């Protein structure tokens, strides 16, 4: 595919304005009216995305903006910008609060609900990008219940799916099996 130019990338977005670090545009994934998607070009030519309002996933942004054909550099790049520089002041309690895997495994987000952590199941998209996890918990009576957490950065999770498209468990493995003609059994329940 052709050479990457930042103008070419920006042409795929609406509401483009200049910022100190780069550009801000309307996020095509969650459809915001006030632009909240930051775009930055690194010295080594990778394009970084960071959706400030919903932390939309890199692959979703690329797809929604129809940038699939372009080599944008490291696909995990948006995560770097989200976890380090961009939002140190926004780490607060409430829906924007993020948790490490360690904190999830200690059941921290559900402590106040009397739920105990049991197991974490990771879900990835067709390209094996981690999207979200389902957490199995038990209540005080030992009854099992489930909660979902979505990826918010490297080793960061946020409670709830909040627009993350659910995928089937072990999707990359299933696609691989389908490609090689294996039989896939889908158990109900």
Give the interface with Zn ion as residue ranges (CB under 5 A). 27, 29-30, 51, 54, 56
Residue in 91, 100, 136, 98 with CA at minimum distance from that of residue 117: 136
* Tokens 């995990």 found at: 76
Identify which of residues 61 and 159 has a Cβ nearer to Zn ion in the complex: 61
Identify which of residues 70 and 164 has a Cβ nearer to Zn ion in the complex: 164
Dist CA 57 CA 61 (whole Å) = 6
Identify which of residues 27 and 48 has a Cβ nearer to Zn ion in the complex: 27
Kindly state the smallest distance separating residue 72's Cβ from Zn ion, in Å.
16
Kindly state the smallest distance separating residue 69's Cβ from Zn ion, in Å.
21
Angle at 22 between CA 68 and CA 31, to 5 degrees: 55
Q: How far is CA 52 from CA 6, 27, 68, 89, in A?
A: 20, 9, 22, 12
Give yes or no for a contact between 71 and 4, defined as CB atoms under 8 angstroms apart: yes
Identify which of residues 30 and 117 has a Cβ nearer to Zn ion in the complex: 30
Identify which of residues 64 and 174 has a Cβ nearer to Zn ion in the complex: 64
Give yes or no for a contact between 1 and 67, defined as CB atoms under 8 angstroms apart: no
Kindly state the smallest distance separating residue 166's Cβ from Zn ion, in Å.
17
Dist CA 176 CA 125 (whole Å) = 12
Kindly state the smallest distance separating residue 31's Cβ from Zn ion, in Å.
8
Q: 148 is written with which tokens?
A: 């979902």
Kindly state the smallest distance separating residue 37's Cβ from Zn ion, in Å.
6
């Amino acid at each position: 595919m052709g050479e990457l130019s930042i103008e070419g990338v920006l042409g795929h977005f609406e509401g483009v304005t200049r910022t100190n670090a780069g550009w801000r545009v309307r996020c095509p994934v969650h459809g915001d009216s006030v632009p909240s998607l930051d775009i930055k070009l690194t010295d080594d030519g990778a394009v970084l995305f960071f959706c400030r309002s919903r932390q939309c996933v890199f692959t979703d942004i690329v797809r929604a903006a129809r940038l699939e054909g372009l080599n944008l550099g490291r696909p995990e790049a948006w995560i770097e910008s989200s976890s380090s520089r961009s939002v140190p002041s926004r780490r607060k309690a409430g829906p924007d609060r993020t948790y490490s895997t360690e904190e999830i495994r200690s059941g921290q987000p559900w402590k106040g609900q009397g739920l105990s952590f049991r197991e974490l199941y990771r879900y990835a998209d067709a390209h094996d990008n981690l999207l979200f996890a389902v957490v199995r918990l038990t209540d005080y009576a030992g009854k099992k219940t489930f909660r979902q957490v979505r990826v918010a950065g490297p080793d960061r999770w946020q409670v709830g799916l909040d627009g993350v498209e659910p995928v089937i468990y072990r999707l990359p493995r299933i696609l691989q099996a389908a490609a090689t003609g294996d039989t896939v059994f889908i158990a109900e329940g």
